[in-house]
Structure 1
Amino acid sequence: MAQPKEKGGLGFRSFHAFNTALLAKQWWRLMTVENSLMARVLKACYFRHSPLMEATKGSRPSYTWSSIMGARWVLDKGCLWRVGTGENINIWSHQWVPGAAGFRLFSGHNYRPGLQRVSQLLLPGRREWNHALIRQVFAPHEASLILQIPVSGNALASSSGAISGIWKVLWQTKSIPRCKELLWRACHDIVPVRAVLVNRGIVTDSICPLCGDDDETLVHAFFGCSEVAPVWFSSPLFMDFRHVPDNFSLVQWLSQILKEGDDWLADSVFTLLWAIWERRNKWCFDHQWYPFDFVLRRASSLASVGFTVGDEGSVLHGQRREGGNATWRPPQSGIIKVNVDASVSAGSLMGYGYIARNSRGEVLATAAAKWPTASTVALAEAMALRWALQLSLDLGFFAVDVEIDSKMVVDAWSNHSRQCSYLALVVSDSVFISQSFHSFSLAHVLRASNMAADFLAKFALS
C-alpha cells in the first residue's frame, strides 16, 4: 500500500519513512543551527570534543538522542563536506567529492602515506587546487571530479592555520573597515602587487614602481621598499624595516601585533599600511608623487577617525538591481559597467568572458580565461562572477555596475547566507569581494545585452 502508484501500490505515505525524515531534519538542524539551546545541550552531553558527524550514541543515551541517532543513516547517504580550507576533511574517509561513488575517493590510497587532508591538495599559501599533484595521485575520472570543486577564497569559512583565533580580533579592532579589509587581503596574499599580477598574466613587469630596484612582492611593497622603510622609521612606531629578513611573515607579524591587545598600536599599524598602499596607487595610476610626511599625515587622519566612526559612509555595497534590458546600455558618468559570462564546453573546460566599458561605451578592458569545468552551469556562472570582481579590483575599477545573464546567480546573491551549496559558497566569496568597491551593483540582464561577454567566454574555449 505504501508503494507509489506507478509501481503498483496505492501511494499511501509510510509512517516509518515519514518519522525518519522528521528525525533527519532534527539532525540537520543540529548541524546548521549550532547555537540553538537543543544543539548546545546535546553537544555538551554527547559530542563535546568531536564534530557532530563523528558523534556516537554513548553508553546511556536519552530517548531524544537515541531517536535522532536512529536517523543518522539518512544524512550519511547524502551529506558531504564542503571544501573551505580543507584542514578538517580527511581525503580518504570523509565524503567530500560530488559525483563520486559514495562521495568518496578510491584511487591513490597507497601513493603517498602522508597525504591525509584536503588542504594538502591545495597550492601552498593559495586557494587553488594543485593540478599537477591531483592528476598524479588520483585516477583520471576522480581527478576531474576534484578539480570541478570550487575552492572558496574566503578562509574564514574554517579555521586558518597560521593565525587561527586572530581573525575575530582583527575585525573587532577600532580601525575603519577599509584598513581592516586591506590587512585581511594582505594576509591571504591577494593584494594586487606586481609580483601577483605577473603570476596571473595581467602584467609582464614585476619591478617595484616606487624604487625600481626589486620585484614588488607583498613584503617589499609594505615594508622593504627603500621608499617605504623610512616611513615606518619616522612614524610614532619607530619600526626599522631597512633590512627585512627573507623569512619575514606578515601573518605572524600581524598575529603578534594583535596579541598585544593595544588598540592604539593596531590602529596605527593598520592606518599606516593603508596610507602606504594609497601612496603607491596614487603614483601608479595618477602619476602623483607624495613625500614621506604625506603618508604620516594621511595615516594620522585615518587613525583619528578610526576611534570614533564605525562605518565609512553610505555606499552601494552589494546593491542588487533587477534587470531585463534587451540591449546594452552605458552606465552613469563615473561608473564602469562590467559584463561577465561563462561558457561550458562538452569536454572538461569552461570559459570566462569579461568586458568593462565606461559611460561613453568605450572599452576599458577585456579578458578571457579557461578553467576546468564546474559541475553545473550556474556554478560556472558564479565562478565567473567571482573572477570578474577580483579582476576589476586588480585593474583599479572601484565603482562598477556588474551585469550577468544568470538569474540563478543573482537570486543566490540575496540568499547565500541561508544555503549550504557550492553555489552559495562561491556567491558568498563574491559578496565579500564586492565590499571592497566604493560603489557596486549587480543586475540580471538578458543574453542579448550580454553578447560581448558571451563571445569572449566562448572565445576562451576555442
Structure 2
Amino acid sequence: MGKAKSVGGLGFREFESFNTALLAKQAWRIIQKPLSLASQVLKVKYFPTTEFMKAKDRWLPIPTSYKVQSVSQILPRDANVASVINHTMKEWKKELVKEIFGEAEADTIIKIPISSTGVEDKLIWVGTKDGVFTVKSAYHLQKELNALRFVQPSSAITNKIEWTNCWNFQIPNAVKTFLWRACLESLSTRFNLVKKQICESSKCPICLSEAETMIHILWNCPSAMDVWSRGPAGLQKSSIRPGNFGDLLEALISTCDQDTIELFAFATRNIWHRRNLFIFENSFIHPCEVMQTAKKSLKEFKAAQPKFITSSQGMIEEDWLWKPPPPEAQGALYAVDLAIELGCSSIILEGDSLSIVKCLQQPVVRWDRVGMILNDTKSKLSGLISCDVLFVKRAANVYAHQLAKAALSIPEDVVALVVSPESLHSVTFDDV
C-alpha cells in the first residue's frame, strides 16, 4: 500500500521515509536561508564550528558519485572548477576540458551552461521541474533509495511497468481504477473466488470452457471477441494473446493510438458490467450495444472536459538525471546577444516554445536547469530601450525552425546574416 499508484500501489505514505523527507525540508531551509533565526539556532547547537554542507568534488552531474573519475596530470590537486572556465568570455576552456577529462565527462561538462551575467552559484533541487524543494519529491526519492538499498526487484527506477500509464489517460477515474485493478488481477473473477474458497468452480460463467481470469473474460472469451470485432481496426485485427491483462494493456499501448486505448478502457469496463448483469440478473447485452455504449460514453466524457495537458504525478524517474537546458532557451539568449552585438536597442523576440516565452514575459525567477539561461536573457533584455517577447506557432515560421534544425549539425557557433542555405530556399518562398 505504501507504493505509488504508478507502480501498482495505493499511494499511502510510509512514515519513516516521510519523516526523513520532513527532515530534508529543514536541511533545505538551512541551506537556502542560512541567516534565518532557525538556521542560526540549529548552527549554534549542532555545527557551531563549520558549515552545514561542504561540497567536496561533487560538482559533475553524472550519478552516482557525482565526482570526476578521470585522473589529471595537468592541473594541481587543489585546482577548482574555475581553473577550466574562461572568465572573460564566460565559457568553458573547451580544449583544456577535453585534454583533462575523459570523453564522456568532457562532453557533460561542456554542456553545463555558464552564466553570461556572472550570477552566483546556487543549489537547486533536481527532483522538481522548477528547482524548488518539496516534501513530496523528497519522499519519493527516499523510497527509491530504500528500494535500491534492499535491491527490490520491482523498483520503479529500473523497470517501470508500462500499464501504469493508465493513470495518465483522459478517461474517468472510475475507468482508470477498473483498469488498474484488472491489471493487478484483483477483481472478483471466478478464478479469484475459487482461490478464496468462495466459489467451487473457476469456469467462465458465459462460455463455460476456460477458467475465468481477467484476460479471459475481457479478451479471450468468445463473448468478448464479439465485442472487439465491432471496435476499431487496431482491436479487430489484433492477434495478441498475452498471459495476463497487464501484458495485454502494455502491448496495446505500444501499438495503438491514444484514442483506441481510451475506447478499449471504456469497452473493457462495459464487458465486465455485462458479465455482472448476466450472473446476477440473467441479462445479456448484445456486443454491438456494448461497443456503441463505450464509444458514446467516451465522446460525452471528452466533450465535457476542459482543454488541458495532463502530466505524470508518479515516481521520480529521469527528473533526477541532469539534462542540458533546452535549445529553445539557449536560442533566445543567443538571439539577444546577437541583437546587442549589432547595436540594436529595440527588438522583437519571437519563439515557438510557449513555456519559454511565458517565462521570459513573467518576472518569476526560476532555479531549475533552464532558470539561469532565462535569468541571463531577462537581464540583458532589461538593458534595451524596448523589447517584446512574442509566441509564434511553428507553422507560422517554418524557415526559422528548419534553420535551427540545420544548425544542430554545425559543431561551432556560426552567424550568417545574408547567406541562406540552398536547402531552405523553397521554405523561404513558402513563408513569404
TM-score normalized by structure 2? Answer: 0.42
| Higher share in strand | 1
**Which structure's CA Rg is the greater one?**
2
